[in-house]
Amino acid sequence: MSKLVAMLATLLLLISAPAAAKKTQPRRATRIAAEAIQPGSPFDCDTVRASTWFGSTRRCLEELCRGQNVTNAAIIGSDGRLRTNPCAHGFDDRR
């Protein structure tokens, strides 16, 4: 009987010890300089950061508009509003 009580007490201590352990704090996220983040949207191409990253607004639009809708003059942005399509600048629809 004493072996059973000793085993249960040991088991209880092993189970309860991790619950009483001190909680750790997550590591603080490092701050990344805004210049190091590549613009992810063609709407950002007219900013200084995009011009610095790609060299010019035109090169930014060429890179970020590749494979996207370039024929519509207006598109719905991520905020749900109708916005001018930055990828359609200079597109000539006359045939």
Give the model confidence (pLDDT) of 2-11 as tens digits.
888 888 888 7
Instruction: Write down the pLDDT at residue 67.
Output: 83
Print pLDDT tens along the chain (95 aa): 888 888 888 877 777 655 555 666 666 666 666 556 777 788 888 888 888 888 888 898 888 888 887 777 888 877 888 888 888 865 555 44
CA distance 40 to 72: 20
Domain ranges in the chain?
34-87
Give the list of residues 6+ apart from residue 91 with CB closer than 8 angstroms, or none. 70, 71
Q: Write out the two tokens for 1.
A: 């009987």
CA distance 40 to 84: 17
Q: Write out the two tokens for 59.
A: 């090169």
Instruction: Write down the pLDDT at residue 89.
Output: 63
**Whether pTM exceeds 0.85:** no
User: Is 48:37 a contact under the CB 8 Å cutoff?
Assistant: no
> What is the phi/psi pair of residue 56, to 5°?
-165, 165
